[in-house]
Amino acid sequence: MSARHLQIAIVGDLHGQWDGLDEEILTLLAPDAVLVVGDLGEGNDRISRAIGALGDHAACVLGNHDAARDASGTTLQRQLTLLGDVHCGWGRRLLRPSGLAVVGGRPASPGGGHCISAAVRAIWGDVAAQDSMARIVKAAAGVPTGTPLVLLAHAGPTGLGGQAHDPCGRDWRRPAVDWGDQDLAHAIHAIRRRRPVPLVVFGHMHHRLRHAARQRISFVRDHCGTAYLNAAAVPRHCHHPRHGELRHFAWAELYGDLLISASQRWYGRRGTLVYCEELHRVEASGREPDHGIASKLWAPRRLAALA
């Protein structure tokens, strides 16, 4: 497959925030792919149905809140049914017409190494970390050579830092620790023995820290060139006094196996880009700009500066 320039819209943790304006913005922007990192809304059937209706160019992995504290797994299974083929946890989804392959991490993950909730056990059984890793690796092995691949998960992998402000750092309890998923981290290493992994997308760890007046680092790249993008700007809906209702989407652009750009964006009505925090961009020369590989996200409250 010849390399294509793909634009990818990423929807961070929704927590009930999805409406007609979100759908209007996506229709106007017309990205090649829409990736949804889960925590749709505590078992909110309306939202799961809407995400499932996004169709062939969308993929989703459910989050821990999608079980809605129902240990029986009934609520989580209902969300899976409503999402249908759009859900790709522990699986593979080939998006159309872009041809982007999306491999999903462990569904409904709460982070913290390898934690399997009662709801997940009720549906899939007690899946060990090694088995979870193997499922992800097997799904990636089925992606044809030359097809661009993105890994989509609710919780990110371990290995991105153990400070509260790191992409998967625990910020709600001291001491801060790396709260990523070990099975996802091991799967990424295994997949890269066979093919490049240009981008891993996740959420779960909200950008606004609990006990500090700062924002989480939402983008890093490792020594192998894999980029990790945390899309969890929560709340992802806000109101600006001059620009009105705004909606958050993370954004990434791929050219084959090369990540061209990554950013956190706030859009208004008619698809107007009101605010953009550029996290990564490859210049025309192929070199990266000098501003580095990690950036803090602008908090919604800072949008007041635009007024």
pLDDT tens series, the chain, 307 aa: 578 999 999 999 999 999 999 999 999 999 999 999 999 999 999 999 999 999 999 999 999 999 999 999 999 999 999 999 999 999 999 999 999 999 999 999 999 999 999 999 999 999 999 999 999 999 999 999 999 999 999 999 999 999 999 999 999 999 999 999 999 999 999 999 999 999 999 999 999 998 777 899 999 999 999 999 999 999 999 999 999 999 999 999 999 999 999 999 999 999 999 999 999 999 755 555 443 333 333 344 444 444 3
Q: Are 216 and 297 in contact (CB under 8 A)?
A: yes
C-alpha separations of 13 from 20, 235, 296, 304 in Å: 17, 8, 18, 23
Q: Are 98 and 6 in contact (CB under 8 A)?
A: yes
Stated pTM of the model: 0.93
Tokens of 51: 């995400």
Beta bridge partner(s), residue 240: 244
Q: Are 249 and 268 in contact (CB under 8 A)?
A: no
In the block, which residue shows the tokens 């981290």?
185
- CA 278 to CA 297: how far, in whole Å? 9
Instruction: State whether the Cα torsion 222-279-206-30 is positive or negative.
Output: negative
Closest C-alpha among 223, 238, 250, 139 to residue 187: 139
Domains of the chain: 5-306 (3.60.21.10)
- CA 40 to CA 45: how far, in whole Å? 9
Tokens of 300: 């919604």
